[in-house]
Amino acid sequence: MPAVDALIDLLFPNGSPEPAGPPPDLPMPSDLREFFTRIGHNTVEVDNRFGFGVNQGLLEYSAKRHENLRHVYRADTIAIRGGHEQRRPDVRKAEGDWDVVIDDLLILGSDDNGNDLYLEAVGDPDGWAVVADGCRSPVWARHTVTATDYLYGLLSGSLRCPVFTLDSWPRSRFDVAVRHH
């Protein structure tokens, strides 16, 4: 998978870390499974500012995030119109608008500003979209690319996401830490 190779090369220019074990046996896109299998860890922290991973507690942690989102939005579904959450029910959908079903979200990562990255777990895992939630703003973004394409694009600067603003990050060398839970 070219995106997996590119992400590994970007994060680990001197070679992958020493493997500690396989990823958990949870539903996930095959590109993410391959990435975590090849690096032998299930959590990655980049510059101590952005982290992503999967572990055995993913479903329970995601359920807690669902509770938090329901508390904030007072709903089971969040209407995204023009890239922003919309609380007025009379705003009609336009092209590119969508509804986020809270129970469909699996937490994949977050940044040091509290913004979250989710997998939208609907249908075949290889078709899951990547959804970003601007925690302190009404901005949401949905990308229908593979998770590793998204992560590579975000960290390399070749993909723009209105939620994660990584412009101040060094592009030539990341400080990357891996963990295995």
Cβ neighbors of 98 (< 8 A, separation 6 or more) are 80, 142
List the domain range (segments joined by +) for residue 167: 2-179
For the chain, the average pLDDT equals 85
Alpha-carbon dihedral sign for residues 80, 85, 88, 89: positive
* Whether pLDDT at 170 is above 60: no
User: How many independent structural domains does the chain possess?
Assistant: 1
Q: What is the pTM of this model?
A: 0.88
**Helices 147-156 and 2-11 meet at what angle, rounded to 10?**
40
Question: What tokens appear for 127 in the block?
Answer: 């078709």
**Cα-based angle 139, 145, 148 (whole degrees, multiple of 5):** 100
Instruction: For residue range 31-78, list pLDDT tens digits in order.
Output: 999 999 888 888 888 888 888 988 888 899 999 999 999 998 888 998
Report in angstroms the alpha-carbon separations of 42 from 49, 102, 116, 147.
Answer: 17, 24, 17, 14
For the segment 72-93, the average pLDDT, to the nearest whole number, is 80
Instruction: For residue range 96-130, list pLDDT tens digits in order.
Output: 788 889 999 999 998 888 889 999 999 999 999 99
- Burial class for 109, CB neighbours closer than 10 Å (0-12, 13-18, 19+): buried
**pLDDT for 73:** 85
**pLDDT for 171:** 60
Q: Are strands 98-101 and 77-81 parallel, antiparallel or unpaired?
A: antiparallel
